[in-house]
Amino acid sequence: MPPEAEAVAEQVFAALADPTRRAILAALAAAGPATATDLAGRLPITRQAVAKHLALLAEAGLVIAEPGERRRVRYRLQPTPMQVAQQFLAALARDWESPLSALADHLDQRA
């Protein structure tokens, strides 16, 4: 894995370590692109706090700022970094212990 992928994964995990940022990402995933004001209306945090977290998420490449209506900036989820992190999780989640012990049991039963 190239070092940049590891950096990408690290930023994803750092972003997800904070409950407010998880809530922001979940809101964007559930309802699509939104402005900082929209998000502040839906989450129990101030617009200033939302803006601070959005700036960090944009820096990490997890959201992209794009022009919205009335020249207000909208934020959209950027899924590619999540997929890089997901591959790391897939390697950790892959369980060969259980199937291999099931194979041993299966062969023993047929012996």
Nearer to another protein by Cβ, of 69 and 80: the residue is 80
Q: Which residues contact 17 (CB under 8 A, 6 or more apart)?
A: none
Nearer to another protein by Cβ, of 46 and 83: the residue is 83
Q: List the one residue out of 81, 94, 93 whose CA is nearest residue 14.
A: 81
CA 27, CA 109: separation in Å to the nearest integer?
A: 51
Containing H/E element for 33? Answer: none
- Does the footprint of another protein cover residue 83 (CB under 8 A)? yes
Sites for another protein among residues 50-79 (CB under 8 A)? 79
Question: What residues line the site for another protein (CB under 8 A)?
Answer: 1-2, 5-6, 9, 79-80, 83-84, 86-94, 96-97, 99-108, 110-111
